[in-house]
């Protein structure tokens, strides 16, 4: 018996080990605070649940078109019109099993073995693994600026005749950074000039804290979607708290969408019809829920940043979106795996090591949980790393940090 070379070469998710340790501690009754999660805690919108209930009532759970229910695609077209100012055709849209699946399908459809895929550090952990799975070669660009903002010159220096695609994720997991509108304009220009696909993973697009949404790539091209190198990926996981529904979608040229359709038709057939009607219900229902989430996350962000700022040697870029913060802890410990392990053991706080996102010395801290967890989590981290700091630990948690008192 042997496992394929490909499967053996793929790294498991970095969250798995710490999650398991946290689960064991929790099972023992330890008050673990989880600042590692990648999902908001709110329930799915009522309109999504009602749509599923109606579908169940109907009793018909059959295959649907590979590319997605036409009515869901209509809702996606409307979403794209409202948030991106572009009106794709049905043939420009394909629905997959989560945005992660959408990214994988896009890479599978456009990357040949040996093609290079540029990723900007810090990057989402799954991109290099997915690039590897389709035979691509990851090329990483680490911005010189300590604000996570790349320059177009840095990207240009990484482009070679083998560059097939550049992945841009803004607001960014793990940094929470939002790339400047100017940079988005420049990268659209570069991709059009050099015939490179620009994969825009916009899963956090509506979870940005500025007055306006981050600029869509389409703003900077006169080309129709069918002639454009821009590929936009989105989904319901983050904005509606529907991570388990597993619905994501891609908007791209008919050529790219039809290639994905062939691959998807031979692998998954279509996304679950129940999840598709749920996504349609969410998209067509009131959008106040997204704004409420954004406001709540912004408040949590402010509390987290305020709490962590008690650590005088910590370098924090205030996140402009998502629900992640990615401070530089290297003044305390340069080894992010060791540091995350230490914080779990001593302060019972789960964080995610930055090394897997391409930036050692950092930790990804999620603030999508309750305000209380965010405040207490920050206080415990501060106390664990600097016992003299003025962090306020809840009375019930004092026992946890007695080593530092
Ligand atoms: C940048 C980024 N893209 C895509 C995804 C995947 O989203 P989905 O749950 O829809 O597959 C995530 C989830 O963490 C993400 O952070």
CATH number at residue 349: 3.90.1150.10
Question: For the chain, how many structural domains are there in total?
Answer: 2
* Most confident by average pLDDT, 27-41, 126-140, 205-219: 126-140
Alpha-carbon distance of 164 to 186, in angstroms, equals 17
Which string of DSSP letters, residue by residue, matches 235-249?
ESTTTTT-GGG--EE
With 50 as the cut, is the pLDDT of residue 40 above it? Answer: yes
Alpha-carbon distance of 178 to 317, in angstroms, equals 11
Alpha-carbon distance of 34 to 377, in angstroms, equals 8
**CB-count burial class (<10 Å; 0-12, 13-18, 19+) for 366:** buried
Mean pLDDT of 70-89: 97
Query: What pLDDT was estimated at residue 101?
Result: 98
Query: What pLDDT was estimated at residue 392?
Result: 66
3-state secondary structure 328-341: ECCCCCCCHHHHHH
For 121, phi and psi rounded to 5 degrees? -80, 145
Q: Which two tokens stand for residue 59?
A: 């009793």
With 60 as the cut, is the pLDDT of residue 396 above it? Answer: no
Do 316 and 386 have their domain in common? yes
List, for residues 184-194, the tens digit of each pLDDT value: 999 999 999 99
Do 373 and 306 have their domain in common? yes
With 80 as the cut, is the pLDDT of residue 120 above it? Answer: yes
Range of the domain at 233: 46-284
Give the residue from 250, 284, 318 where a domain finishes: 284
pTM: 0.95
Do 22 and 156 have their domain in common? no
For residue 264, report the distance from its CA to the centre of ligand 1, in Å: 18
Taking CA atoms only, the protein residue closest to ligand 1 atom 13 is 38
With 90 as the cut, is the pLDDT of residue 394 above it? Answer: no
For residue 99, report the distance from its CA to the centre of ligand 1, in Å: 5
List, for residues 213-252, the tens digit of each pLDDT value: 899 999 999 999 999 999 999 999 999 999 999 999 999 9
With 80 as the cut, is the pLDDT of residue 398 above it? Answer: no
CB of 104 within 6 A of ligand 1: the answer is no
Give the DSSP letter of residue 356.
G
Atom of ligand 1 nearest to the CA of 169: 1
Query: What pLDDT was estimated at residue 405?
Result: 38
Q: How confident is the model at residue 329 (pLDDT cuts 50, 70, 90)?
A: very high
Mean pLDDT of 155-177: 98
Average pLDDT of every residue of the chain: 94
Share of the chain above pLDDT 70, in %: 96
CB of 322 within 6 A of ligand 1: the answer is no
Alpha-carbon distance of 140 to 117, in angstroms, equals 8
Pocket test for ligand 1, best of 76, 172, 173 (most atoms within 8 A of CB): 173
For residue 293, report the distance from its CA to the centre of ligand 1, in Å: 17
Taking CA atoms only, the protein residue closest to ligand 1 atom 16 is 173
Do 171 and 132 have their domain in common? yes
Give the residue from 257, 284, 311 where a domain finishes: 284
Atom of ligand 1 nearest to the CA of 101: 11
For residue 100, report the distance from its CA to the centre of ligand 1, in Å: 5
- 186 three-state secondary structure: helix
CB neighbourhood size of 135 (10 A): 14
Query: What pLDDT was estimated at residue 393?
Result: 67
With 90 as the cut, is the pLDDT of residue 201 above it? Answer: yes
With 90 as the cut, is the pLDDT of residue 20 above it? Answer: no
Give the DSSP letter of residue 116.
E
Do 78 and 148 have their domain in common? yes
Query: What pLDDT was estimated at residue 402?
Result: 43
Query: Residue 91: which of 76, 102, 106, 104 has the closest Cα?
Result: 76
List, for residues 267-317, the tens digit of each pLDDT value: 999 999 999 999 999 999 999 999 999 999 999 999 999 999 999 999 999
Query: What pLDDT was estimated at residue 395?
Result: 54
Do 267 and 295 have their domain in common? no
Mean pLDDT of 351-366: 96
Total residues found in the chain within this entry: 405
Give the DSSP letter of residue 141.
E
Alpha-carbon distance of 253 to 242, in angstroms, equals 27
């Amino acid at each position: 018996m042997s496992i394929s070379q490909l499967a053996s070469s793929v790294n498991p998710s970095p969250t798995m080990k710490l999650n398991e340790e946290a689960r064991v501690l929790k099972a023992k009754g330890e008050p673990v605070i989880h600042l590692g999660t990648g999902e908001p805690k709110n329930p799915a919108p009522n309109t999504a649940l009602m749509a599923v209930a109606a579908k169940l009532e109907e009793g018909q759970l059959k295959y649907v078109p590979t590319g997605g229910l036409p009515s869901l695609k209509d809702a996606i077209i409307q979403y794209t019109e409202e948030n991106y100012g572009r009106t794709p055709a049905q043939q420009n849209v394909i629905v997959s099993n989560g945005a992660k699946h959408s990214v994988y399908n896009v890479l599978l459809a456009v990357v040949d073995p040996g093609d290079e895929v540029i990723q900007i550090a810090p990057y989402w952990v799954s991109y290099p693994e997915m690039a590897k799975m389709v035979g691509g070669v990851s090329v990483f660009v680490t911005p010189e600026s300590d604000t996570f903002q790349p320059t177009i010159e840095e990207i240009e220096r990484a482009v070679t005749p083998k560059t097939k695609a550049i992945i841009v994720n803004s607001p960014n997991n793990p940094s929470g950074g939002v790339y400047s509108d100017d940079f988005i304009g420049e990268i659209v220009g570069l991709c059009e000039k050099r015939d490179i696909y620009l994969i825009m993973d916009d899963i956090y697009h509506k979870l940005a804290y500025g007055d306006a949404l981050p600029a869509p790539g389409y703003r900077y091209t006169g080309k129709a979607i069918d002639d454009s190198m821009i590929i936009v990926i989105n989904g319901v996981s983050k904005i509606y708290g529907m991570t388990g529904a597993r619905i994501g979608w891609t908007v791209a040229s008919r050529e790219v969408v039809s290639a994905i359709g062939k691959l998807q038709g031979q692998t998954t057939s279509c996304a679950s019809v129940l999840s598709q009607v749920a996504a349609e219900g969410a998209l067509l229902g009131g959008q106040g829920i997204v704004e409420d989430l954004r406001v709540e996350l912004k408040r949590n962000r402010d509390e987290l940043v305020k709490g962590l700022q008690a650590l005088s040697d910590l370098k924090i870029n205030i996140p402009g979106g998502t629900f992640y913060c990615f401070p530089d802890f290297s003044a305390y410990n340069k080894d992010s795996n060791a540091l995350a392990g230490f914080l779990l053991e001593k302060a019972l706080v789960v964080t995610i090591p930055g090394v897997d996102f391409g930036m050692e010395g950092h930790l990804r801290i999620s603030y999508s949980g309750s305000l209380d967890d965010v405040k207490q989590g920050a206080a415990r981290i501060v106390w664990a790393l600097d016992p003299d700091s003025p962090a306020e630990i809840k009375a019930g948690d004092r026992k946890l940090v007695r080593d530092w008192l």
